[in-house]
Amino acid sequence: MPTKAAPDETHDPARQSWVESANAPGADFPIQNLPYGVFSARGSARHIGVAIGDDILDLTRLEDLGMLCPGSGRVFDEGILNPFMKLGPKVWRKTRAAIAKLLDASNPALQGDATLRQNVLIPAADARMHLPFFVRSYTDFYASREHATNVGSMFRDPHNALMPNWLHLPVGYNGRASTVVVSGTDIRRPMGQIMDAGQSAPHFAPSARLDFEVELGAVVGTDSAMGARLSTAQAYEMIFGYVLLNDWSARDIQVWEYQPLGPFQSKAFATSISPWVVTADALEPFRKAAPAREVPLLDYLHEETPNNFDIDLTVDLTPHGGQAHRIAQTNAGALYYSSAQQLAHHASSGCAMCVGDLLGSGTISGSEAGTYGSLLELTWNGRDPLAIGGKPQSFLADHDSVTISGACQGAYRLGFGQVSGRILPAD
C-alpha cells in the first residue's frame, strides 16, 4: 500500500484564505491546516466543522446545501467524525482539497455571498466543542526513550533503566475508552489503594500524587480485519489524524498496582484530548525521521519513510486564582516509536483495529529537565519541587489547571490548539 501523498497544493505556504484571521502570522489554523472537530452553536445540534482562523466552517450545513458531498450518502450529520473517517484516505484527501478550494481567497463561492457565508461560518468563540469522534478503543504506549529511561532510573536501576523488551517493540497497555473526554472537561481527583512507605497494608484514599502526561494521540480512520497484520506503510495510511492527549495519572496508586500487569485504576479515571483532529495529510510537510536505532528492529516494524512529526509542545500549570506558569517545552519528533509502528505492532498478533481507535504515544520527554512531559520527571518523583506561585509544588493540587499546546513551525504555523483540564477535589 502506498504511503501518504507528497505535499500538494493544499500545503502551498503562499496560499491565502478569504477568512482574514487565518492569514495572520502565528495563527494556529491557516488554510494549510483545516483540522476537523465537532461543535454546537446557535442552538444547533452537534455539527462537523473545520477550524479556519478564528472561525469554524460548518461542514454539516455545506453537506445539507449540496456544496460538499464526500460520500454517496450523508456523513456529516451524526455529530461524530467516524462515518466520514470510514470512507478512507482517498476521500479524506479529496474532501480536504474541496474545503481548501471553498476557503481560498480567489474563490467567490462563499466569500461573495454574505447570507450563505453567515450561515456556514461560525465564530469559534460562539461554539461549544465536543468529543470529535466515538472512541472505539484506547491504547496507551510508552514510546519515548527519554521518558522510559527516566522512569526506569527512578524506580529500578539507573544503569539498566530500560526493560529488556523496550528497544525491540512499542510497549503498550489497553486503557479505558469510556473516560476519554474533550478538552475543558473537569477532572475529579481519583481515589484508590495507596501503600505508604513503611506500612504493611494499603489504605483507600484520594491520590496525593496526581500528574499529567504530555502525549500525541493517533486516530485510526479505517478498519483492519481480525487475523490480518499491517506493515508500517499500511498503518500510516490508516491513521486519519492526530490530537493532543493528556493521560492523567495517579502516581501513588500506580506504584502500588502496576506490577505485574501494568497501570489500571491509576490511569482509568480520565484521558483528555484536544477538540481538533489535525489530519495526517496536513502534517505531511512536517514529517521527521525517528532517532537512530540502538538495536535492529524486526522487519514488521521497519519504516521506509520518516513517520514522526516535528511538533513543538508546551505545558502550562495554573494554580487556583493564580497565573499560568510555563513548566515544560518538548517535541514529538524524538519519539523512538512512531504512531505507525505502534499501530503495526498492535495488529501484529492479528488484533482487529477499528475506526475510532485511539493510540496514545505515552509521555513525550526530551533529554533535559525542562523538556520532561510529566511532573513525575520534572520534580524527580517529588524530590525537586517546582516553584508555582511562590510555593513549592511536586504534584497537582485541587483546582489546578493544566494546558498542553502544540504546533508545527515551518514555512507556516500549523497548530493543534490546546488540551486543558482542571482538577476537582475527590468526591
Nine-digit cell string for 75: 456523513
CA–CA gap between residue 81 and residue 76 (Å, rounded): 7
Lookup: cell for 70:
464526500
Give which of 99, 70, 74, 100 is closest to 87, Cα–Cα: 70
Residue 85, C-beta contacts closer than 8 angstroms, at least 6 positions apart: 92, 133, 219, 221, 222, 240, 355, 356
Return the closest-CA partner of residue 312 out of 291, 334, 297, 296.
Answer: 334
Pairing of strands 358-360, 55-58: unpaired
CA dist 65 and 30 (Å) reads: 24
Longest CA–CA separation in the chain, Å: 74
Select which of 147, 168, 302, 320 is catalytic: 147
Contact in structure between 342 and 141 (CB atoms under 8 Å) = yes
| 147 belongs to the catalytic site | yes
Q: Please list, residue by residue across 74-92, b when 16 or more beta carbons sit within 10 angstroms of its beta carbon and e when fewer do.
A: ebbebbbbbbbbbbbbebb
Assess contact for 423 and 397: CB atoms under 8 A.
yes
Measuring CA to CA, how many Å separate 211 from each of 190, 214, 228, 303, 420?
A: 11, 10, 37, 33, 13
Cβ atoms of residues 339 and 242 within 8 Å: yes
Buried b (16+ CB within 10 A) or exposed e, 294-323: eeebeebbebeeebbbbbbbbbbbbbeeee
Helices (H) and strands (E) in the chain, counts: 11, 26
Closest to 241 (Cα-Cα) out of 416, 403, 411: 416
Residue 20: which of 51, 54, 49 has the closest Cα?
54
Q: CA-CA-CA-CA torsion for 319, 325, 329, 335, nearest 10 degrees?
A: 0
Whole-angstrom distance, CA of residue 290 vs CA of residue 62: 39
As annotated, the active-site residues are: 147
